[in-house]
Every structure is written in C-alpha cells, then in structure tokens.
Amino acid sequence: MPLPLAVSLDSVESFALTWLPIVFMGLIVLLIGVTLRHMPRTKPQEIKPESSESIEWGDVAGVEEAKDELREVVEFLRDPKRFRKLGAKVPKGILLHGPPGTGKTLLAKAVAHESKAKFFAQSASSFVEMFAGLGAARIRRLFRAARKARPAIIFIDELDAVGATRGKDISGEKDQTLNQLLVEMDGFAGADDLVVIAASNLLDKLDPALLRPGRFDRQIFVSPPDLKGREEILRVHSRNKPLHGVDLDLVARQTSGLTGADLANICNEAAIFAGRQRRDVVLMADFEGALERVVAGMQSRRVISDHEKRVVANHEAGHALCSEVLDSVERVHKISIIPRGRALGYTLNLPEEDRYLKSKDELSDYLVVLLAGRVAEHVVFGAITTGASDDLKKVYEISRSMVAEYGMGTGLKSRRLPADDFSMSDATRREMDVEQEHLTEQAYRRALAIIMENRPLLDELAHTLLENEVLDRTEIERIVAVHRGRPFVVSPAPGVGPRIAAAERLRPEEAE
Ligand code: ADP
Ligand code: MG
Ligand code: ZN
C-alpha cells in the first residue's frame, strides 16, 4: 500500500530537522580538534641539556687560535672559584664567526665536552616561529633552564637567523626574539658560571647591539684552515680509515681555500671510492678521485668536438707555460682537458706554502698567467673564444684591486677607495681606469712574448695534453726538461725592444 505523499515528506523533514544540526555540530567539533592538533605548542617539553657527543679538542684541527681562546673558557668553567678569587671577570658571551663549515659548531661542542658543563644547544632558526612571541618565550625558557643547571653553556647556532639588524623584519617576530636575547644577556652577571656561545657566518650582518660590551663582546674568528691545518684536519678524518700510501700533505696542498667540512667530505668520498672498488684500503687514487669530485664538481658527460679539445689544450698549455717560466708563480701541479662542471679544462697551480702578502711583481706575474690561456689560443689559432671569460674576470678583479686597493698603479701612490665609491670624481675614476688598463696591457704583452718565444714548448705541452688528457707534475717536468737545452726566454720589461714590437702585431684587437 503506497504511503500518502504528504506523510512521507513530513517524516523526512522532521528527521532532517532533528539530526542535521547534530551532525553539523559534530563536524565543527572535529574540525576544531584537528586544527588544534596542528597548532604549534606554546608549552613544549621541558628544555633539557644535550647529552653532548664526546667531541674532544683533538677532533677539531687547524683552528689553533680559536682553540687557544676557548681553552680559557673551558678552564674557567671547570674551576670558576680559582678565577673569581683573583677577581677575574668571566667572559659571558662568545661569538664564533667565520665561513660555513669551518668548525664553529664543532668547537662549541668541544668546549662543552672538555669543560663538563651542561650544554644547551639551540639553532636560532628554531626561534623564528610562525606565531609572534613564541621565539621570545623560547629564549626565556632556555635561559631559565640553563641558569638552573649551572655551570652551563648555552649555544646558539646560526645566530644570523635572529641576529640580523633589527627593523628589517616585517612581522617583528625576529626583532622580538632578538630583543629578548639581549634582555637575557644583560640579566646575568659574568659570575654566573653561565657562558653563552653563539655561531654566525657573517659578523657584518649582525645587529651591532649584540656586539656591545657585556653581550657577545668576545669575538673569535674561525678561519678556513691553512696548509698545515688542512693536513691535520685530513688526518683527523682519516683516523678510522685504512689508508695505504696516501700522501695527505699533497692532498692538503691541493685543497687551498677549502673548509674543514669540505675536507671531511673528501675523506669520506675517498673511502666510498675504495669501497666501490671492493678494496679494503684507501689509496691515493681514491683521494684524487674524491678531490676531483669535490673540488671541481662531478665529471660532466658533455661531448666536446676535436677542435674544441685542441683549443682547450692550447689554452691550458698557455697557462702552464707561463706558470713554469715565471718564477714567482706557483708550479703547475696538474693540467687537464677533461671537462668538469662549467670549465672545459683547468690548470692547477700549487702554492709552496700559504701566503698572505703578495708583491706587485707577483700579482703582475699572475695576471700574465691568467691571460696566457687566451693569448695561446690567439697565437695558435688566430682566433679567440669565450673560454677565457673566467680568466678575464679574474684579471679584471685583480688589476682593479691593484689600482684601487693596494696603490700599485704608477700614478696613484696610495689611494684606497672602493672601485664603486660614488664620491669619487670622474677624473679619478678615469685615472684609475687608465691605470688598470695599463697593468692589463703590460701583462698581455708579457704573456704574448713568453708564448711566442717558447712556442715549441707550448706545442709540446698542448700535444701531450691532447693525447693524455691529463698531465701531472712529473710529466710536465719531463716535457720542460726536454726543452731545457734551450733556456726559457723571459722577456724584459715591456715597452721597449723590437721583439715586443713584433709581438704586438699579433694582438687580437688589431686582428679583429
Ligand atoms: P660550521 O658550524 O662552522 O658551519 P661545523 O662545525 O658544522 O661547521 O662543521 C661541519 C663538519 O665539518 C664537522 O662536523 C666536521 O666533521 C668537519 N669539520 C669542520 N671543521 C673542522 C675542523 N676544524 N676540524 C675537524 N673537522 C672539521
Ligand atoms: Mg654550524
Ligand atoms: Zn683559462
């Protein structure tokens, strides 16, 4: 029997009216629950000291100056009474600054371990929360917890994340966090057995308020390691690796400018290379492979034409030849025409030692070496390519610094102005341009003269390079020795002599 239509509609309506609101309420409750669960907690777990990994002084190498300064801090934390009796004031804020990967975090951990103080480590980026005020609250809690646990070290890593100059942060969150940090640091006296260590990559960017007396007033620069330091770091990171006939000194020589983190990476890559070969020792060849991978980027699979290869070979041979001929330039350790990263080839010069002072002659010679690649291309093929762009950029920068920073031009005695100082007069600007051009010009002529006069050696280097793709020091020496019958011709200072005049005719500006 069919139900009357009106009745059925009625019952549906009353059903909906009773249940829909309930279902709706349920959904809302569920939604609120889910949202709450995803909100950041304002009341996180109690801040506890880190059970620091046992990093010892011996694990940090090549940063002796920083270690010496930090040893004082360690001594104080170990026996604060001894220092306080003498009326010594204790450092309270220490800022480790230097390029990434130089071992700042590592140093802080070593201080914690060696001093046996409680170690509270936080990365400043973790203070920067989505919601205003949370970062500041975290700082407050961090200091409260550390104060209870004295003697203690608070370590704030990556201080740049909150320490940048105030007023640049739209939300104001970083500024609040930074202000709180300043308040906390002012709030405890040096006698508190509490030391705050922070790490930063760039001192310049930090808010000056952080560096005032009573805050991070002890600043320690952690520099990339020098030759000896690099060797020590390599030794630290290959301690647990079965090396066989590996000359770590040579590896150190080839890694000028690299940081501790890079060197650790090289040691690890070398072990991986050995592992892939199923060997149970790590050989020099593994280190060479690792070095090439880390230093010059992965070997590219790009195919280059024979002609390109010949151009590159002559270009690199030009660099190498001038390096060999000029005494002040470092010996060539390796030439390669196997493309890596962006470069189609490279010439690796090895310094005898790390040097901090360079003379004008040395810089001028270096300009010659840099220009020699392009000059060789031009002499051999009568045409120049884009391959020299990096060299030319360096030539520009060095010659610019020589004139603008080191006062090594001829006319300017000791002017020291940044190259793009707006207050510089047009006349000075022009004068500097002329000086710079003069330096570059001289270097170009000298490169040209050297290459023209040692052409057989250039050809031999390029030829052997084409065959072997890579030349190492012994091969370079062998080739040079063959040509020793004819001594190197080093041209006299440019500007005089028929030889130079002849050479000048080949300058590309005139050929084009
Ligand atoms: P930073 O904090 O300065 O960026 P880290 O301390 O985080 O550098 O260094 C990263 C890694 O690189 C370390 O864990 C360590 O393996 C290695 N390392 C860096 N510097 C050194 C050093 N001076 N001695 C030994 N190892 C180092
Ligand atoms: Mg770090
Ligand atoms: Zn080059």
One DSSP character per residue, 66-108 reads HHHHHHHHHHHHH-HHHHHHTTPPPP-EEEEE-STTSSHHHHH
- For atom 15 of ligand 1, which residue has the closest CA? 261
Kindly state the average pLDDT of the residues 286-312. 73
Q: Highest mean pLDDT: which of 116-130, 229-243, 287-301, 488-502?
A: 229-243
**46-221 under CATH 2.60.40.10, yes or no:** no
Question: Bigger pLDDT: 500 or 483?
Answer: 483
Domain coordinates in residue numbering, the chain = 1-30, 46-221, 227-296, 306-511
- Cα–ligand 3 centroid distance for 256 (angstroms): 19
Q: Is 316 a catalytic residue?
A: yes
What φ, ψ does residue 190 adopt, rounded to 5°? -65, -20
Question: Bigger pLDDT: 186 or 443?
Answer: 443
Question: How much is the pTM?
Answer: 0.61
Long-range Cβ contacts of 502-508 (<8 Å, 24+ apart):
502/452, 503/445, 503/448, 503/449, 503/452, 504/445, 504/448, 506/378, 506/379, 506/448, 506/452, 507/444, 507/448, 508/374, 508/378, 508/384
- For atom 12 of ligand 1, which residue has the closest CA? 261
Kindly state the average pLDDT of the residues 292-320. 75
- The answer on pLDDT for 216 being more than 50 is yes
Q: What secondary structure does DSSP assign to 450-478, as a single string?
A: HHHHTHHHHHHHHHHHHHHSEEEHHHHHH
Q: How confident is the model at residue 504 (pLDDT cuts 50, 70, 90)?
A: very low
Question: Bigger pLDDT: 429 or 471?
Answer: 471
Cβ < 6 Å from ligand 1: which residues?
Answer: 60-63, 100-106, 199, 233, 236, 260-261, 264
Q: Highest mean pLDDT: which of 29-33, 42-46, 125-129, 130-134?
A: 29-33
- Cα–ligand 1 centroid distance for 231 (angstroms): 14
- Cα–ligand 1 centroid distance for 102 (angstroms): 5
- The answer on pLDDT for 193 being more than 90 is no
Domains 227-296 and 306-511 share a fold: no
Q: Highest mean pLDDT: which of 66-80, 122-136, 244-258?
A: 66-80
- Percent of the chain's residues with pLDDT above 90: 29
| CATH fold group of domain 306-511 | Methane Monooxygenase Hydroxylase; Chain G, domain 1 (1.20.58)
The CATH number for 227-296, chosen from 3.60.110.10, 3.40.1400.10, 1.10.8.60, 3.90.79.10, is 1.10.8.60
- The answer on pLDDT for 333 being more than 50 is yes
- CA dist 369 and 497 (Å) reads 22
- Cα–ligand 1 centroid distance for 123 (angstroms): 16
**pLDDT computed for residue 268 by the predictor:** 94
What φ, ψ does residue 258 adopt, rounded to 5°? -80, 155
Kindly state the average pLDDT of the residues 98-115. 90
* 173, 316, 377, 453: the active-site residue: 316
Ligand 1 atom closest to 96 (CA):
3
- The answer on pLDDT for 191 being more than 50 is yes
Among 24-33, 159-168, 231-240, the least confident range: 159-168
**pLDDT computed for residue 500 by the predictor:** 34
